[in-house]
Structure 1
Amino acid sequence: MKRRSFIGRSALAGLCTGVSFSFLDSKIPPHNWEGYNFGPPPTITDRLNQGPFHNYGPDANAPGANVVMTTTAASGKVPNFGMGMVTYICDEVGPPKVKGEDLRTSIEKLARLPLGDVLYLRVDWKDIQKEPGKLDFPEHWNITFEMAKKYGKRVAFRVQLMSPVIEGHSVPDFLADKIPFVKLGVTDEIGIPGKVHYAPRYDHPEFMRAFKELDDLLSEKYNGHELVEYVDTYMYGFWGEGHTWPFEGNPFPDYRTAEETSIALFEHQAKNWIKTPLTTNTQPDYSEVGNSEVLDRTVRSHNWLRTDTIFIETSQIDALSNRPSWIGATIEQGLATGDKNKETNFEGIAKNENIIAHVKDVSPTYFSLWNWHVISAENFLSYYDKYPGPLNHLAASIGYRVRPSWIWYFEKDGYPGLILGLVNDGLSGVPGALRISLTDTEKTLHIEGSLDPGYPLPGKVRQVLFQLPKNKAWEGLRLYAHIEVKQVRHPVKWACHQSLENDGALLLRKNL
C-alpha cells in the first residue's frame, strides 16, 4: 500500500466521473508562509512588561540590576501540554493485532512506553456510531482512555469519513442508504488492491446533517476533556486529509461547491471545539476542494497543523517550518522496525535516523511513534531498544522547553523588582501563550501575567518584569508557569536542571 507515493510524479491515473471545475478568483493562491499576515495572535490578559529595560542613566527603569540567580537546561524529557511524542494505538487498519495476545494487553504495553506522552486513535465513522443520536465506541477506544488515565498520558484522535484501506464505506450504514456516492475508480496505488473506490457526496443535506450531529456528540463529550490533547479535523477524502489521490477531480459538481463544503466541515468543528486544539493536514489542494482556504482558517482561528509524512511537497514544508510561532504542529511518519531500518540506507544514514533528522528541521511540537499498519509495542521496541539515541534526543528537544535563564534584581524608588530572562531550549515556539506567576510561601503575594503568544522563541531571550511590594524579599518566592491554549490553562514544568518543588515551582534563591 502506497499512502503518499505520488510525490514527484507528474502523470496520474484514474478519473472521477462527471466532474468539472470553475476556478474562482477568491481562491487563496500559493504564498510564502514566512511573514504572511494570518491576523492577530491569540488574545492574552495581564500582559507582562517585556521591556526594554535600562540599567543606567536618568531614564533607567531597572537601575543597577544584577544577576542573582541562573538556571541551566534540563537533560532528557520534560513533558508538558502542547508537545510530546505520540504513541499510535490505532491507525487506519485498526488497533494492534498481536498473535496470542488480547487487545487490552497489547494496548497497555503501548500506553506504558515511557517515551510516549500522547496516545493516538484513528477510527472510521462507523466504528463509533451505529445509529443516529448516540455514540457507540469500540473496545480499543475505551481501553485507550482507561490506559491514558492509568499511566498519566493524554489522548488525540481523528474520525475518518472516508478510507481506502477498509472494505465498504467509512460512513455508518444508517447514513450510507440516504446519500449518493460517486465512483472514483480502481487503483493499486493506494488502499486495498482491486477495490472500487466511491466518494460520498459530502455536500448532500443528509450527509451534512449527520456529520454535524457526529461532531456535536463528540465535542459535547470531549471538548475541554482533561485527557484530550488535540483532535485532527476530519475533512474531505482519504483518511480525512483533503485528497483522493490518485484519482483526479472530486465528487462535487464544481469548485465552488467543493470549497464551500470543505469550509462548512471545518467551521462546524471550529465552532464546537472551542477549548481543545484542532489540527488540520497541510495537504496541498491536489483534489481541488478548497484546502488552502481551510488551512488559512485553521491558522486564523489559532488551531494547529499536522502532516502525514516528512518527505512531502515543498508547500507543506514551507507551512510547517514558517507557521506562526504560537501554532503547534504534529508530524506523522511511520518508523521502520529494527530489522527493516537498515534496509534503506542514505549514505550511511539509516531510514529512521533520516526521518528523525528531517522532523527536527521543521520545528514540530509532536512526533509519531508509529509502525505503519503493524502497530505493537514489540515492533516499536525492536528498533528503539537497539538504537534509543535518535528518538531520545528528539524527545528531549521537541516542542518548547522554557526556563528563566537569568534572574536580575534591582530597586527603584524603594520598590524591589525582578527581571526574568526567559529562554526556550526546544525546537518550537510556545503553541499558545506562556503565563508566569510569582507567589510567596504564605500565598499573601500573587503576581501573574502573560508573555506575548509564541514566546520565548528558540535561540532568543524574552525578558519580563515583576515589580514587588516595598520591602518584599525576593529570596524564597515561588515561580510557576502555565500555557494558555484556547483560553484553557495547563501547568508547565520548567525545563531546567535545577531542582523544582513538588508542586512544580522554582524556588528563587541566590546561586550566583
Structure 2
Amino acid sequence: MKRRSFMVTSGLTALCSGINFGFASPKGQADGIMHKDFGPPPPITDRLYQGPFINYGPAANVPGSYVVMTTTPATGQVRNFGMGLVTYVCDEVGPPKPKYGSLRSTIEKLAKWELGDVLYIRVDWRDIQKEPGKLEFPEHWDLTFEMAKKYGKRVAFRIQLMSPVIHPQSMPDFLKGKVPMVELGTTDEIGIKDKVHYAPRYDHPEFIKAFKEMDDLLSEKYNGHELVEYVDTCMYGFWGEGHTWPFEGSPLPDYYTARNTFVELFEHQAANWSKTPLTTNTQPDYNHVGNAEVLEKTIRSYNWLRTDTIFIENEQIDILSNRPPWVGATIEQGITKGNTEDLRMVDGIMRNENIIAHVKDVGPNYFSLWNWHDIALENLLSYYEKYPKALDDLSKNIGYRVRPSWIWSFEKEGYPGLVLGMVNDGVSSIPGALRINVSDPGKTFQVTGSLDPGYPFPGKIRQAVIMLPKDTRWEGLSLTAEIEIKGARRPLTWACAQELDDDGALILKRNL
C-alpha cells in the first residue's frame, strides 16, 4: 500500500489546491498569496520589560549594569513540554505484533528507550467507543499511559474517523444504519487491496452528534492531563489527515457544506481542548473540504501544526517553516531499519540522514521515531545502534533549548536588578510563552513575569529585566522557568551545562 504516495503523484490538482489563510475560494483553492497575518499572539500576564536597555547617561534604565554570570549550552538531551522525539507505540494498523514476549513487554521496551520523550498512539474511533455515552480504551492505550507515567514520558494521540487499512469502518458499530455511507470505490494506490472504500456523511446529524459526544467524553478525561502532550485534530478522510486521495471530491454534497461541517467539528474540538494543544495536518485541500479554514482557525486559536512526511508540497513546507513563533509543529516521517538493503544510500547519504537534515530545516518541535507499520524497539535499534549520530544530534537540538546566557547586575534608585539575556540553542521558538521566576532560598519573595510569546527565537537573544526588593543580594537566588501554553503552565528545565538544583533551579553566582 502506498500510504502517502499522493504527495508526489497527485499532480497539479493537489499542488494547486492550497492553504489559503483567509476566506477560501468556492473550491478551496489558493489565490497564490500565502497570507502571513496570523492575528495577535496569545495573551500573557506579568509581561517583563524587554528593552531597550540603556547603560549610561540621564536616560539610563539599567545604569552601570555589568555581566556577573554566564551559562553555556547543555551538551545532552533536555526534556521539556512542547518538544522532543516521539516514539510510536501504535499506528493506523494497530499496536505492535510482538514476535517474542507480551504486548506489555513490547510497549514497555518502547517507553523505556531513553531517546524518546513522548509516546504516540493512533487508534480508530471504534477502538475507544462501543456504545453511546461511554468510552472503553483498548489494552495498548492503557499500557501506553501506564508506561509513560512509569518512565517519565508524555503521551500524544489521534482518534481516526476513517481509515483505509482496516476492514470495518472506523466509526463505532452503533452508528451503522444511522449515518449514510458513500462509496468511493476501490484502488491499489492506498489501503487494503481490493477493499471497497466508503466515507461517512460527516455532515449527517447523527454523525455530528455522536462525534461531539465522543470528543466531550475524551476531553473531559484528558484535557490538561499531566501526561498528555498534544492531540491530533480529527479531520476529513483517510487517517484523519484531510484527504481521500486518489478519490477526487468528497461524500458531502458541495464545498460549502463540507467546509462548514469541518469548521464546526474543529471549533467543537478547540473549545473542548482548552488546555491541551491540538495539532492540525497541513494537508492541501485536494478533496475541497475546507482544510484552509481549519488551518487558519488552528493558528488563530493558538493550536499547533503537523505534517505526515517531510518530502511534501511547497505549501506545506512554507506554512511549517513560516508559522507564527508561538505555534508548535510536529513532523511525522517513518525511518528505515538498519539492514543494508533498507538504508537507501544516495550520494553517500543514508535515507534517514537526509530525512533528519530536512526536518531540522523547518524548525519543528517534534519528530517521530517510527518504523512505518512495523513498530518494535528492535527495528528502531537496528538502525540507531549502527548509525546513532543523526538521531543523537537531532535529540540535542529538536524543539527549543533555552538558557540565561548573560546575567547583568545593576542598581537603580536603591533597587537591585538583573537583566537576563535569554538564548535559544534549539531549532524552534517557544510554542507558547516563557515565564521566569526569581526567588530567595527561604521563598520569602518571588518575582515573576513573562517574555513575549515565542521568545527567545533560535539564534537570537531576548533580554528582560527583573527588579528585586531593596537590599536583596542577587547571589544565591534561584532562577526557574515555566512554559505557558493555552493558559496552562508547566515547569521548564534550563538547557545549560551549569549544574541545576533538584527542582530545576539555576542558583545565581558570580562565575565570570
Q: How does 1:144-293 map to 2 (within 5 A)?
A: 144-293=144-293
Pair 32,227 (structure 1): closer, same or farther in 2 beyond 3 Å:
farther
Pair 26,39 (structure 1): closer, same or farther in 2 beyond 3 Å:
farther
What is the CA–CA distance in structure 2 between the aligned matches of 1:106 and 1:177, rounded to whole Å?
A: 38
What is the CA–CA distance in structure 1 between the aligned matches of 2:308 and 2:230, rounded to whole Å?
A: 16
Pair 245,12 (structure 1): closer, same or farther in 2 beyond 3 Å:
farther
Deviations for 1:140-196, whole angstroms, at most 9, x for unmatched residues? 001111001100110000000000001020101101221111111110100001111
What is the CA–CA distance in structure 2 between the aligned matches of 1:508 and 1:105, rounded to whole Å?
A: 44
What's the offset of the Cα at 1:427? 0.3
What's the offset of the Cα at 1:340? 5.3
What's the offset of the Cα at 1:31? 5.7
Percentage identity across paired residues of the two chains = 69
Pair 132,55 (structure 1): closer, same or farther in 2 beyond 3 Å:
same
Name the TM-score, length of structure 2 as normaliser: 0.96
SS at match of 2:464: strand
SS at match of 1:29: coil
SS at match of 2:389: helix
Q: How does 1:64-463 map to 2 (within 5 A)?
A: 64-339=64-339, 343-463=343-463
What is the CA–CA distance in structure 2 between the aligned matches of 1:252 and 1:32, rounded to whole Å?
A: 28
Deviations for 1:401-426, whole angstroms, at most 9, x for unmatched residues? 00000000111222211100000000
What is the CA–CA distance in structure 2 between the aligned matches of 1:63 and 1:323, rounded to whole Å?
A: 38
SS at match of 2:9: coil
Please tell me whether the aligned partners of residues 110 and 376 of structure 1 are also in contact (alpha carbons under 8 angstroms): yes
What's the offset of the Cα at 1:467? 1.1
What is the CA–CA distance in structure 2 between the aligned matches of 1:69 and 1:31, rounded to whole Å?
A: 50
RMSD: 1.5
Please tell me whether the aligned partners of residues 86 and 117 of structure 2 are also in contact (alpha carbons under 8 angstroms): yes
SS at match of 1:3: coil
What's the offset of the Cα at 1:29? 3.2
Deviations for 1:449-484, whole angstroms, at most 9, x for unmatched residues? 000000000111000001112221110010000000
- Residue in structure 2 matched with residue 495 of structure 1 by the alignment: 495
Name the TM-score, length of structure 1 as normaliser: 0.96
- Residue in structure 2 matched with residue 473 of structure 1 by the alignment: 473
Pair 78,58 (structure 1): closer, same or farther in 2 beyond 3 Å:
same
SS at match of 1:69: strand
What is the CA–CA distance in structure 2 between the aligned matches of 1:161 and 1:472, rounded to whole Å?
A: 58
What is the CA–CA distance in structure 2 between the aligned matches of 1:507 and 1:360, rounded to whole Å?
A: 32
SS at match of 1:7: helix
Aligned residues: 502
SS at match of 1:407: strand
What is the CA–CA distance in structure 1 between the aligned matches of 2:277 and 2:324, rounded to whole Å?
A: 15
Please tell me whether the aligned partners of residues 89 and 120 of structure 2 are also in contact (alpha carbons under 8 angstroms): yes
What is the CA–CA distance in structure 2 between the aligned matches of 1:509 and 1:12, rounded to whole Å?
A: 60
Q: How does 1:7-18 map to 2 (within 5 A)?
A: 7-9=7-9
What is the CA–CA distance in structure 2 between the aligned matches of 1:12 and 1:470, rounded to whole Å?
A: 67
What code does the residue aligned with 1:407 have? I
What is the CA–CA distance in structure 1 between the aligned matches of 2:27 and 2:290, rounded to whole Å?
A: 11
Pair 227,84 (structure 1): closer, same or farther in 2 beyond 3 Å:
same
- Residue in structure 1 matched with residue 506 of structure 2 by the alignment: 506
What's the offset of the Cα at 1:342? 5.0
What code does the residue aligned with 1:344 have? R
- Residue in structure 2 matched with residue 36 of structure 1 by the alignment: 36
Task: Give structure 2 stretches of 5+ with no counterpart.
Answer: 14-23
